[in-house]
Amino acid sequence: MDMQATLVRSEDNESLVNRLRQDPGAMLQRYQVVRAFTEELCSPLATEDYVVQTMQDVSPTKWHLAHTTWFFETFVLSKFDSSYEPFHPRYAYLFNSYYVQAGERHCRDKRGYLSRPTVEEVYRYREYVDDRMKSFLQRIGSSEWQEAAPVIEIGLHHEQQHQELILTDIKHVLSVNPLRPVYRERAVEPPSVSIPLDWVPFEAGLYDIGHDEEGFAYDNEGPRHKYWVDNFLLANRLVTNGEFMEFIRDGGYERPELWLSMGWATVEEKKWKEPFYWEPSRNEGDYVLFTLSGERAVDPNEPVCHVSYYEADAYARWAGARLPTEQEWEVAAQQIAIDGNFVEDGHFHPVPADPSRSATLHQMYGDVWEWTRSQYSPYPRYKPVEGALGEYNGKFMCNQFVLRGGSCATSRTHIRPTYRNFFPPESCWQFTGIRLARDV
Amino acid sequence: MDMQATLVRSEDNESLVNRLRQDPGAMLQRYQVVRAFTEELCSPLATEDYVVQTMQDVSPTKWHLAHTTWFFETFVLSKFDSSYEPFHPRYAYLFNSYYVQAGERHCRDKRGYLSRPTVEEVYRYREYVDDRMKSFLQRIGSSEWQEAAPVIEIGLHHEQQHQELILTDIKHVLSVNPLRPVYRERAVEPPSVSIPLDWVPFEAGLYDIGHDEEGFAYDNEGPRHKYWVDNFLLANRLVTNGEFMEFIRDGGYERPELWLSMGWATVEEKKWKEPFYWEPSRNEGDYVLFTLSGERAVDPNEPVCHVSYYEADAYARWAGARLPTEQEWEVAAQQIAIDGNFVEDGHFHPVPADPSRSATLHQMYGDVWEWTRSQYSPYPRYKPVEGALGEYNGKFMCNQFVLRGGSCATSRTHIRPTYRNFFPPESCWQFTGIRLARDV
Amino acid sequence: MDMQATLVRSEDNESLVNRLRQDPGAMLQRYQVVRAFTEELCSPLATEDYVVQTMQDVSPTKWHLAHTTWFFETFVLSKFDSSYEPFHPRYAYLFNSYYVQAGERHCRDKRGYLSRPTVEEVYRYREYVDDRMKSFLQRIGSSEWQEAAPVIEIGLHHEQQHQELILTDIKHVLSVNPLRPVYRERAVEPPSVSIPLDWVPFEAGLYDIGHDEEGFAYDNEGPRHKYWVDNFLLANRLVTNGEFMEFIRDGGYERPELWLSMGWATVEEKKWKEPFYWEPSRNEGDYVLFTLSGERAVDPNEPVCHVSYYEADAYARWAGARLPTEQEWEVAAQQIAIDGNFVEDGHFHPVPADPSRSATLHQMYGDVWEWTRSQYSPYPRYKPVEGALGEYNGKFMCNQFVLRGGSCATSRTHIRPTYRNFFPPESCWQFTGIRLARDV
Amino acid sequence: MDMQATLVRSEDNESLVNRLRQDPGAMLQRYQVVRAFTEELCSPLATEDYVVQTMQDVSPTKWHLAHTTWFFETFVLSKFDSSYEPFHPRYAYLFNSYYVQAGERHCRDKRGYLSRPTVEEVYRYREYVDDRMKSFLQRIGSSEWQEAAPVIEIGLHHEQQHQELILTDIKHVLSVNPLRPVYRERAVEPPSVSIPLDWVPFEAGLYDIGHDEEGFAYDNEGPRHKYWVDNFLLANRLVTNGEFMEFIRDGGYERPELWLSMGWATVEEKKWKEPFYWEPSRNEGDYVLFTLSGERAVDPNEPVCHVSYYEADAYARWAGARLPTEQEWEVAAQQIAIDGNFVEDGHFHPVPADPSRSATLHQMYGDVWEWTRSQYSPYPRYKPVEGALGEYNGKFMCNQFVLRGGSCATSRTHIRPTYRNFFPPESCWQFTGIRLARDV
């Protein structure tokens, strides 16, 4: 699967956005590319793989396929296309996720109970909506376009988020199966290399943080505002599996003084002894890990992945360092091109930092989402969008931590320096990792 | 689907059993008929329907298909056919249900997490084992036959039990789906009729209870033993929906004095207000119910179905009667031919008692399993079979109640007057109903 | 505490009952003796001990003191004494246990949340009701007496049941305290002796089972009815700690084939490795146990105690025997005088069988309640008493097993050969033990 | 109870601290005053009140009394007084709260299971430690003093925190009791008055936030650091019960769009319909509330109290405002004298803003802890204290929100402008309330 060819790579996100906003035809083309990529990601799956929900956080693949379609049906076609007839009267109920202002919805933790609609019916639903979107965009007038374009734009970013979730969720589904099915064989084995850990200094100052409204951003990335940041050091690369194994060997999972109180309670309750998807191998002290290409030995040079905030925080404390704040991360990222190991690269797993790349900061984008020490809060003067779409971000600003930079399951065109992802501190089924920071 | 034609009807169970025990060829033919009927029952399903587990009691259809196959693989082929190679090394782990002596097994409540093996692979597994069973039976020697025949016999009864479970489980899977899928349209609508409730007297005496070892029976049906039964009256038919609606209207679900203490706790915790699969209809005081042929209005003449022991017991108390003991039921059943509404009739739902049948007792077999007031205990001198098959029955003799007579999902060739089914008192996803008894 | 002196010993229960029924003065005296004994049992307690509830099954001592008083207030004084004024308007709500027909009640699992009424107030409540009962009985007319006498009789037996619960509950309260408080120092250490296990034969026959209505009995002990019992053997004494330790050493808690399915699930869930109140001692393979006289080494000659039905059943299976049915136990007990180690003996713990006693069956009464294999069901033609007192027994006939014979915490005047105690199979905080039976 | 007389009022906190740090005699006197006040707060309690734990957040009063004593025993006497012998060898286990570096500890949610030590023994324990502290402080050398003084200082603030918890916990204990006991009758009824809501403007700027190390502070209040604050408006007083009733009447508890996602889930799960300790009164639309002086009608002019973060946040959204950040609150508080309705005032409940006080901002200190929108995070360059005392604050920096200003249960000498209290967003058993803020 040469995914790189599928999506635009050469254009930067800001100019892409500007072009799309001015041209319904370009938007349609973009729509078709993004929607097709979702289906391309599903191509390795058996029908049965689309159905299963292995924990509450995980949704069945067919739900993702339908929910992203429901988004365009509900927020675009039903709003702006007066001739539109819904594909099925109950789908609005089945495939709403959490938009309370968009009506009642089926229980999240029971998505795996639904054998119908079948996968084939869901694909027909996609086809139906895609056809309607096409004819809608081909005949759209300019005043409708002003209103609809930003919603379609959100819909495409929403679809890209669910592309990432399809991968992380199907990884979980396959992982709990004793047969250990493979999503896709590893095409090329990246060399296992390493670069030394180094600390990059940043100067104190009153920085501008948040999105400047050029190009696309979610509402939670703004408004741009002043924020004082002290002098700090940021690690030049991600924490590796090898380093994390040192932490384990040093009793990291047995020493409560390294952990937040709730983190330690979680370690004890869930009996955590190593990162998620790791298992001790038959050789004492070694580990194997489950990937979308199957099970293999832990490579000490790869970034550690699938760690919770609690583990990231405990590791940092053990290492005599700390996690960066989201503002520190953004200050550093503002100076860096958006490049890295993304979903289009087809690894579906983080890879070691490349010593041949002459960069000050490695792996800032792609590979793994980087936990920050910042709890997810509104920026000053933050105002959610009006209506159901305003539920996208703001109502989750509680008991979650911010992650930055995207992962190997993120689309290159989906990430930005100001992008704020967020998960509860115990979450580890996403591709999440660690970059250290220190006070000067 | 003309299911009646599929299975032998004319031969009584005892002579069938004797014939099979003497002839491997007859046994093979029987094996093929029973196995084919399992697959016939699955023919209306979509691939996705095979995968889903909607509560712990429910297993995915593909699990039933594989587990019944595993039974023959484990207890017949692996034991008696030295040339046998298992189809897949991990299936023994995945498809063992609870036979601890047959090795480790996958968690019961996580059967719905397994997307693999696919449905197609499971059918290949069945085909593989069926082929091996065929060649094994075609060349079997007489000393092996002595040992293997009783196990195959159990295996076929085991498969018939799972045929019933496939129907009750898929009913639950379809029922929780807001799209309300239909398993099979109702072919013929039976007339809604009624016969008056009457009480049939039985004389006190020291009866012989339990199986006499002629023909097939599970170990828990014996040994045959003496049991004193007092004079009693038994209702001539099952309790109807109409009668049960009287109970509801009279506040049956709101009056703790009618209920066992644990029953009342269950009513309060689960907020029961009507039988399982019933819902209030738009007309005040009426109900609709979900069947394998979809949703329809409650027919007052049909037997009430999907009631728990708690509801059966409370109803009986409200009606000034009681449930029969299992010995009373068996005393009455000994005098009756095995006839009724079974799975082969293709209703997949209980039907009203037929006034044109001149019988003293109606509906004793088929339609619904009848709750007795007897808790499931070993008969005097009961000894479980040796080895893993000894786990079939004995180890569940705790906190369960005995049900008698089979249901509309039971095979005609599977039921006997001594047959003891058992479920916990809160269970209601089986086709379970009520026959009243009284002291004289 | 010379408890023996406190209660009548020389009179048999039947003649005691007859005498009380004829004489309000004798009943009053009896009332005062029983009520005083309750308070005598509480005399070793600190105020704080009366308040605590350490699990749902356990009630605070002050609740027991008040609830038994509420019984007389509600079912005697409020019913029969028109001049009676309740001590406090809210006590009816606080101290009703489960009599739904007697009105609403405070949540059982929150009894430990009530700091008020204080212990002193509860004793005042007792005094108040005792005074009113005294003057009521002193002036009672004969028609009232006919109605009230049976209720007072039940109230006294009810109080005796709660005397036993006070001891078992306070044992639990003290046991969870790391300070390991002692209820009462062991006065005399009984000699640690043993008698050999022997099997006593009983003949098959159609026996009369249940109470004959001479003397007092609960409604669940009748009506007397015929029951066929096969030949059987009954062990001449209880299973000892030493024998139970053999079971443990032989892997008894690690072998699922010895257990009922629900029993094994309980072993795994609760991580049972030895009987309740036992702990491994520092010497490998030995155990200490907690008693009302504190912690001490397990005496191999004492009856094993605080075992659940699951453990009793698994032990019997391991020993190549089984538990008796309740009818078998009653057949054997009909021939035996009511003697044994009761609460009045002041041991508060079972003692070894006495080799100097020339008896065929030892320890049938007192020491420990003996689990039978009989699930708790109504006898034929059983009718509960009318009204709230009818909730005493019948509504618990589900998911419980019958125990017979009383324990070291039972009053000598409280037990009978027909007495049916019952607890769920996982219960072990009562003084419960094992007597084996076998088929011939 | 004239509590005002008990504690120093005239001296400001900073000079008090300085004086104590220089003089062991003054420290001893202070120690005795604080310790005596704890016992004074307990004086209205019955013995039984000290024992009960009504939910996990609540600790029994006797546990508070012992735990605060354990603090001095463990961190002062055992560390600095080589002749010290612990009062009881198991108390270290029983009365450690969460200091993992100070050894194992008894389960938090089982504190209510301990009837022993008795209340009297706990008071003896206090006396014993107080005696040892006295003689230790009377003979202390100057080098020990340097080390010990800061720990004693923390111990006294720790004791004051537990004084507040004693009140909030005993309020809960009394409230769940259907007898509705009163802690202390309301001495004086404060007039029910009101002042109009007004908005006080503050200017944007780069402020210094956090403690400047003059006087006492917890480690989490520092280090002092720069923080940019935008222009904002702060309400001149707390939100009142009357205003909150408007929110309820406007469907506040039924409109998911007003709530954080986790807040709405909590509303649904716990069926919240009004603030904690409120109940609908018999007059439709009115409410009664439970206070430490018993139950009474809700006074519309009193500050709303016992609201969770979720309710505070939803109320603010409904009111078209928001909660302040903790930095905004601190900017405003820096200009205000520490005055208000504290525990020494003996109201044990918030009181209406006093219109006769000519202040810009009312009720900033005392009355109720004010929820801020700031999640509890470390300040830049925050370093916890070394050793077990470092567990005091830092390890809770996750899933909690910051509250500011103290309450009617807080000691006047315990509060500071930089003081950061923190609770999970669903907590409501503390005296917690709402002050609004707005963007300009």
**pLDDT of the residue at A10:** 39
A61 vs A48: CA distance, rounded Å: 10
Q: What is the percent of chain C with per-residue pLDDT over 90, rounded to a whole number?
A: 85
| C282-325 pLDDT, tens digit each | 888 899 999 999 999 999 999 999 999 999 999 999 999 999 99
Please give the structure tokens belonging to residue A146: 């002003």
C32 vs C42: CA distance, rounded Å: 16
Reduce the secondary structure of chain C to three states and give it as a string.
CCHHHCCCCCCCHHHHHHHHHHCHHHHHHHHHHHHHHHHHHHCCCCHHHHCCCCCCCCCCHHHHHHHHHHHHHHHHHHHHCCCCCCCCCCHHHHHCCCCHHHCCCCCHHHHHHCCCCCHHHHHHHHHHHHHHHHHHHHHCCHHHHHHHHHHHHHHHHHHHHHHHHHHHHHHHHHHCCCCCCCCCCCCCCCCCCCCCCCEEEECCEEEEECCCCCCCCCHHHCCCEEEEECCEEEECCCCEHHHHHHHHHCCHHHCHHHCCHHHHHHHHHHCCCCCCCEEECCCCCCEEEEECCEEEECCCCCECCCCCHHHHHHHHHHCCCECCCHHHHHHHHCCCCCCEECHHHCCCCCCCCCCCCCCCCCCCEECCEEEEEEECCCCCCCCCCCCHHHHCCHHHCCCCEEEECCCCCCCHHHCCCCCCEEECCCCCCCCEECCCEEEC
pLDDT in tens, chain D (440 residues): 333 333 333 356 778 888 888 999 999 999 999 999 999 999 999 999 999 999 999 999 999 999 999 999 999 999 999 999 999 999 999 999 877 777 888 889 999 999 999 999 999 999 999 999 999 999 999 999 999 999 999 999 999 999 999 999 999 999 999 999 999 999 777 778 889 999 999 999 999 999 998 899 999 999 999 999 999 999 999 999 999 999 999 999 999 999 999 999 999 999 999 999 999 998 888 999 999 999 999 999 999 999 999 999 999 999 999 999 999 999 999 989 999 999 999 999 999 999 998 889 999 999 999 999 999 999 999 998 888 787 778 899 999 999 999 999 999 999 999 999 999 999 999 999 999 999 99
Give A183 to chain D, closest Cα distance, Å: 33
Ranges of residues in chain A with a pLDDT under 50 are 1-10
Interface of C with D in 114-133 (CB under 8 A): 114-119
Give D90 to chain C, closest Cα distance, Å: 7
A385: which DSSP letter? P
SS3 content of chain D, % helix, strand, coil (to 5): 40, 15, 45
∠ CA B416-B418-B421, rounded to 5°: 85
| A29-66 pLDDT, tens digit each | 999 999 999 999 999 999 999 999 999 999 999 999 99
Interface of C with B in 287-346 (CB under 8 A): 309
List the single residue in C100, C256, C439 with the smallest CB-CB distance to B256.
C100
Please give the structure tokens belonging to residue C59: 């009630």
ipTM above threshold 0.90 = yes
Q: What is the percent of chain B with per-residue pLDDT over 90, rounded to a whole number?
A: 85
Residue whose token pair is 């099915």: A181
Give A247 to chain D, closest Cα distance, Å: 19
Instruction: Let me know if chains B and A touch, i.e. at least 3 Cβ pairs under 8 angstroms.
Output: yes
C304 vs C435: CA distance, rounded Å: 10
How do beta strands A401-404 and A437-439 pair? unpaired
Across B102-254, the runs of DSSP E, i.e. the strands, are: 199-202, 205-209, 225-229, 232-235
CB D197 within 8 A of CB D321: no
Query: In B, which residues are within 8 Å of A90 by CB distance?
Result: 178-179
A227 interface with D at CB cutoff 8 Å: yes
A240: which DSSP letter? B
**pLDDT of the residue at C12:** 66
Q: Do D225 and A225 touch (CB under 8 A)?
A: no
Stronger pLDDT, A426 or B192, i.e. the higher one: A426
B75: which DSSP letter? I
**pLDDT of the residue at C189:** 77
Query: In C, which residues are within 8 Å of B439 by CB distance?
Result: 380-381
**pLDDT of the residue at D8:** 35
φ/ψ region of A40 (left if φ > 0, alpha if ψ in -120 to 50, else beta) reads alpha
* Total Cβ atoms within 10 A of residue C281: 14
Q: Do D48 and C46 touch (CB under 8 A)?
A: no
Does residue C94 have a pLDDT over 70? yes
Interface of D with C in 25-84 (CB under 8 A): 46-52, 54
Does residue B64 have a pLDDT over 80? yes
**pLDDT of the residue at A12:** 66
Please give the structure tokens belonging to residue D219: 């480690």
Stronger pLDDT, C231 or C215, i.e. the higher one: C231
List the single residue in D90, D110, D115 with the smallest CB-CB distance to C46.
D115
Give D72 to chain A, closest Cα distance, Å: 22
Q: Do B90 and A181 touch (CB under 8 A)?
A: no
Under the banding of pLDDT at 50, 70 and 90, the label for residue B9 is very low
**Helix (H, G, I), strand (E, B), or coil: what is residue B96?**
coil
Instruction: Let me know if chains A and C touch, i.e. at least 3 Cβ pairs under 8 angstroms.
Output: no
Query: In B, which residues are within 8 Å of A176 by CB distance?
Result: 110, 113-114
Please tell me the total number of residues recorded for chain A in this structure: 440
List the single residue in B100, B230, B257 with the smallest CB-CB distance to C380.
B230
Q: At what angle do helices D119-138 and D61-72 cross, to 10 degrees?
A: 20
Query: In B, which residues are within 8 Å of C381 by CB distance?
Result: 230, 439
Task: Phi first, then psi: give them for residue D193, nearest 5 degrees.
Answer: -130, -175
Interface of B with A in 146-185 (CB under 8 A): 173-174, 176-179, 181
**pLDDT of the residue at C120:** 98
Does the pTM exceed 0.80?
yes
What are residue D206's DSSP bridge partners? D228
